[in-house]
Chains A and B, each alone.
Chain A
């Protein structure tokens, strides 16, 4: 009753070697003098699990990186907007259809589903800054389950996506402004005819599936990042903006002129109500709320200068813009904001948007340092701001508004992620700085270097970098969730209603209907059935392949020589591939994902009879 599994021997050895290397590297991060020798705070011994999952956006790789914290081991890469031959994502019919006309995406901001403002470990949402799409990943399988879009009327939904505190909506705002209805106007019409958009996507609570719900038309400014209100500020969202200059060329200069841009304050519950009340216009099938026509939805506060991140404190009382081109974080009070709105304490109204008086809403300015980009939170009101230009992380306290500690990171942190650091109850403990440049930190690999993740210890009085690891391009934002909140499954559940699946060797068959050939195939250690498929040149071939090995980690691959076909079937999964047998000849097919001792024997022949 045994298996001489070469795979497990090989895999086992590899895992241990990798774990040991990570452990050693962790113990002595080169050139980080602040690390005490033999520091065990970050050491995760081989075979033990990390305390947290970190979900890092993969930027223009179109993927999500799953990383263990504190070890910083990369555990998995989830293909989302880009093809991935390692999993067959974008090769089988289902994922190909999901990806639509695109083979890549620019995945900027992952957002974990929440219940009462706390991560609940069900779903992960992400945006595609390149193709105006959103994706949902099911955290029972770590597979991308849905992509919606391109959604009409918006362009470059970069503005840090967020979910509302009970995952009612997944929202994203546009980086680029274009004519909203897709019409053609030259750039000299920029201010008049171009629009920004905030997109709300409704979430089905049972399945996580997304449906575009409504849009808010916004001035042609660039929306950068955003966060949802929580607690007292639940029902609101805050979004940073730059280019209030409305420049359309050479933004580097022309969008950096104003001393202040804006923090947008959006009452999304009011927007939801406005839609329910029919106060919207339909553009390209989308329900669009226009603040010039509907009051009480959008407000703005001046904020210094080209702010990047906007972050809501865990208690929901404050929202903070990070100055980027100004060395301060502006802390706004939600309570004061409501008062200013009540008192109509407006500087002016722009395009129907009341601009609140900065002084009236400001709680404090934190002199954070140069290039503040993003703030995360820890225990007891501690806040941690990444400083891109200073290349540090600054620690300060809500209520005291003064930096008490900084730690140098290598180099130029964009975002950071603290353990549950943007929820209602941050854990403290760890923060990972997502550094844009690694320069000399790792073995050189040519002119371009990897990005650099650094683990900062938050448990001690003084922050210290205690671990680091390179990472592929390019994490922008990440979220870090307690590992025990995620409940994965080990076998894809059998779906008896799926007509493409077969579950026994007797059901394996080839059906022909004219020139359409359908193969119902199965993969089981270590064979394919059928393992001979004979077709005529020109036939349209459909192969449904089910992995009937219902054993964790026994994933099979299916690749056909010279056919650009390669996909995986996870335990219990059925996948489909279609192609036209244009080339006459003999083409082996084989298991491309090491499965068992006789994996190498797991093959078959596709015989394409010449016309």
Chain B
């Protein structure tokens, strides 16, 4: 199966291809063990760009609607900041939340906002490096980082939702049972209905992951198909 691909014209950097085609010098390598073909490198670069773009976009958001807030209040999470739909949404959310004894939500309260952006940029740089060097080993590391990052990120979000919903001051004017706002979907509390969802930046992240994964393993699949 790997031998077949050998007969294909050299795609990924001709020097190596020529070298490996010399049976006297080196053992012939299977095609997928070799450096990435152009298409894979393109996908990796695309993945890096998507990742970079996602660092400027909102990843997650919570919209709150109540009878007296027909236009709603929002808290929108970017990798490096919190924002609202309106200028003062978070100020107002905190004003309301203090009635149930919730901690103040502020950028300072989320240290990860200080560095997530740089991690993303570092990841993007790593992926670009993978594409340029064509190193599979590095590509596997990038993919692994994606998986770990996703797991840690989702856990982090759950942790915060759980922390804010559960650590309610016991002397709050209005006592509500502890709760965990869902990461996605609708929730009801008193006069508010909340809708939480992933936002555009998250989908850029997902797309980036797809590009990087396909960039890493795609040539194998193509090779298999051809075989």
Contacts and interface: CB of A to CB of B under 8 A. Distances in A.
Interface in B61-110: 62, 64, 66-68, 87-88, 91-93, 95-100, 102
A443 to B, nearest CB: 32
Interface string A465-501: 0000000000000000000000000010000000000
B134 to A, nearest CB: 49
A103 interface: no
Given A1-B96, A1-B97, A2-B66, A550 B192 contact: no
Contacts of A3: 66, 68, 96, 99, 190-192
B67 A1 contact: no
Given A2-B66, A12-B68, A551 B92 contact: yes
A598 B100 CA distance: 12
Interface residues on A, range: 20 to 34
A549 interface: yes
B159 to A, nearest CB: 17
Given A8-B68, A9-B67, A12-B68, A2 B92 contact: no
B218 to A, nearest CB: 44
- In the A-B complex, the 10 residue pairs with the smallest Cβ-Cβ separation, listed nearest first, are A8-B68, A2-B190, A2-B192, A550-B88, A3-B96, A551-B92, A2-B189, A550-B91, A525-B95, A5-B68
A550 B73 CA distance: 13
B173 interface: yes
8 contacts: A1-B62, A2-B64, A4-B191, A5-B68, A8-B67, A524-B95, A549-B95, A550-B88
B192 A551 contact: no
B103 to A, nearest CB: 12
Contacts of A9: 67
Interface in A1-36: 1-5, 7-9, 11-12
Contacts of B91: 548, 550-551
A491 B176 CA distance: 30
Nearest to A11: B68
B40 interface: no
A577 interface: no
Interface string A499-528: 000000000000000000000000011100
B191 A2 contact: yes
A491 B100 contact: no
A9 B174 CA distance: 17
Which has the most chain A C-beta neighbours within 10 Å: B62, B68, B91? B68
Interface of B is mostly: mixed
Nearest to A491: B88
A9 B67 CA distance: 8
B208 interface: no
B194 interface: yes
A454 B173 CA distance: 49
A607 interface: no
A102 to B, nearest CB: 37
Interface in B114-148: none
Nearest to A493: B87
Interface of A: 1-5, 7-9, 11-12, 491, 524-526, 548-551, 554, 597-598, 601
B64 A1 contact: yes
A1 B11 CA distance: 57
B174 A4 contact: yes
A552 to B, nearest CB: 9
Contacts of B190: 2-4
Nearest to A3: B96
B99 A598 contact: yes
A539 to B, nearest CB: 32
Contacts of A549: 92, 95
Contacts of B97: 1
B94 to A, nearest CB: 9
Contacts of A5: 66, 68, 191
A519 B171 CA distance: 27
A8 B68 CA distance: 6
Contact of A550 (B67, B92, B100, B191): B92
Q: Which of A7, A9, A491, A551 has the most CB of B within 10 A?
A: A551
Nearest to A47: B70
A78 to B, nearest CB: 24
Q: Counting chain B CB atoms within 10 Å of each CB, which of A9, A548, A597 scores highest?
A: A597
Q: Which of B64, B92, B98, B189 has the most CB of A within 10 A?
A: B92
A550 B86 CA distance: 11
A506 to B, nearest CB: 13
Nearest to B99: A3
Interface in B21-67: 62, 64, 66-67
Contact of A1 (B68, B88, B93): B93
A6 to B, nearest CB: 10
B192 A1 contact: yes
